[in-house]
Structure 1
Amino acid sequence: MLRNHRQEMVVALLFVLPFVLIYGVLFLWPTFQMVYLSFTDAPLIGPGEWIGIENYVEMFDDRRFWTSVRNTAYFVVLTVIPNTLIGLVIAMMVSRLKGWQQSLILAMFFLPYILPVTVVYRIWNWMFNVQFGIMQYPLTWIFGKATPVFRTQWMFMPAVAFVTVWWTCGFNILLFLSGLRSISTDIYEAAALDNASRWTIFRRITWPLIWPVTALVLTIQLILQLKIFDQVYLFVQGGRPDPSMVMVQYIYSQAFQKNEGGYAAAISVALFVIVIVFSILQFQVLRGRGQK
């Protein structure tokens, strides 16, 4: 038995070894290098001198860094919960359809998700165009004149959040729909026999049973939106980037435009810690909520 156990361990290690090697080369080693660079004054390419925690001291005194943190947090608030709720509502409506109708509606909602971000940018930049964009009709009715949405500071982040929700909610719909399909119809039939209302069925049956999926969607959305870059970078072209700068955009600016690789690595470490901490905290809180 001992020999068989050792053979099983050897076979298991052989199967796991390729993943461990790839994980170490593609994630652990770059992460270690990023942390090391954050303590140096290295440029984007090439070595640098060890300067200790000077980059972190500079980061905490950097006004633009805190602006990027606030903008990232604001964007997370505008997207994570609304995107999750919209995905749940649409998934519940789609789940009531059958056959080709369900497939067609689901495909329509999922289609934007497979579009590249540059295509999404072109679509919505055209739709919000001041001269001929169709979204200017409701904006003109509300504000009394055509409004350059992506050049107006207070409208920029909500507009990008709106585009992001439209672009990514299809994935959430798919996850929620999978969760809804896993719920046995016998439960709903039993509730119908007790004359339970739709709200009672949702509150007592549907919501508790799809809570694990909800926690997963919220966690995925939090991680994705904390790393927001593409949409903000594209829509801010031609405008002032500083007031709308997010953390990844600031990292890009420091590394690729100012050639300050060490300082950019320090900001990357800060973002990495923020993502890990908030993701773990949120997942633990949501899991605890689901176990009650």
Structure 2
Amino acid sequence: MLRNRRSELLAAFVLILPFVVIYGWMFVYPTIQMVRLSFTDAPLIGEGKYVGFKNYVRMFKDPVFRKAVWNTAYFVALTVVPGTAVALLIALMVSRLKGWLQSVILAAFFLPYILPVTVVYVIWDWMTNVQFGMLQGAIEWVAGRPVNVWRTIPWFMPGVAVITIWWTNGFSILLFLAGLRNIPAELYEAAQLDGATRWQMFTRVTWPLIWPVTVLCLTIQLILQLKIFDQVYLFAVGGRTQATMVLVQYIYEQAFQKNAGGYSATIALALFVIVVTFSVLQFQILRIRGQR
């Protein structure tokens, strides 16, 4: 038995060794280097001298960093819960369709997800163009005048949030559809026999059974939106970029435009802590709520 146990442990070690090596090389080592770099004044490439907690003191006093944190939090509030709710609503509607029609509608909703961000930028920049954009009619109806969405600060972040929900919701819709298809039809039949309304069937049958999928979608969306960069950077080019600065964009600016490797590593480490903390916290809170 002892020999068999040793053989099993040896086999397990051999099987997981490639993953451990790659994970350590691609994630653990760079993370350690980032922590080390955050205590120096090093440029992006090259060594620097040790400065202690100077970068951290500078970060907490930096008004642009605080603005970037606020903009990132604002964007998360605009996208995570609303985007998940929209994905659930679309999945509920698509699940009622049958055959080829369901496939066509699902493909239409999933198509934006496979588009590169540059294509998304070109499409929406064209549709919101002040002179000929097809959406300017709706914008003028709301605002009372044509609005250059990407040069108007109050409109900028909500506009990017709408585009992000449109662009990324396809994956969440697929997850919700998979969860809905795993609910036994017998439960709905029993609820109908008991005289349950559609709302009661949703709140008492559908919602509790797809809660794990909802937790997964919210967690994935939170991680993705905390790392927002591409859309904000593209739509803010030529505009008031500091007013719309987000954390990853600020890291990019410090590292690649100002050659401040040590300070950019400090901001990156702060973002890493924020992502891990809030992701784990949200996942655990939602999981505990689902067990009640």
Shorter-chain TM band = over 0.9
Q: Displacement, 1:138? A: 1.0
Residue 269 of structure 1: SS of its match in structure 2? helix
Partner of 2:39: 39
Partner of 1:226: 226
Partner of 2:66: 66
Residue 243 of structure 1: SS of its match in structure 2? coil
Q: Which runs of 4+ in 1 moved over 3 A?
A: none
In the TM superposition, 1:90-169 aligns within 5 A as 90-169=90-169
Structure 2 unaligned spans of 5+: none
Residues 47-105 of structure 1: CA deviation (Å, up to 9, x unaligned): 11111110000000000000000000000000000100000000011111111111111
Partner of 1:208: 208
Partner of 1:269: 269
Residue 243 of structure 2: SS of its match in structure 1? helix
Give me the whole-angstrom Cα distance separating, in 2, the residues matched to 1:92 and 1:42: 52
1:75 and 2:75 are equivalent in the alignment: yes
Partner of 1:29: 29
Structure 1 unaligned spans of 5+: none
Amino acid across the alignment from 2:228: I
Residues 93-128 of structure 1: CA deviation (Å, up to 9, x unaligned): 111111111111100000000000000000000000
Give me the whole-angstrom Cα distance separating, in 2, the residues matched to 1:87 and 1:204: 20
Partner of 2:11: 11
Give me the whole-angstrom Cα distance separating, in 2, the residues matched to 1:139 and 1:75: 20
Partner of 2:290: 290
Amino acid across the alignment from 1:223: I
Amino acid across the alignment from 1:245: M
Give me the whole-angstrom Cα distance separating, in 2, the residues matched to 1:2 and 1:98: 57
Give me the whole-angstrom Cα distance separating, in 1, the residues matched to 2:252 and 2:213: 33
Q: What RMSD, in angstroms, separates the aligned Cα atoms of the two structures?
A: 0.6
Give me the whole-angstrom Cα distance separating, in 2, the residues matched to 1:233 and 1:35: 26
Q: Displacement, 1:151? A: 0.3
How many aligned positions are there? 292
TM-score when normalising by structure 1: 0.99
Identity %: 66
TM-score when normalising by structure 2: 0.99
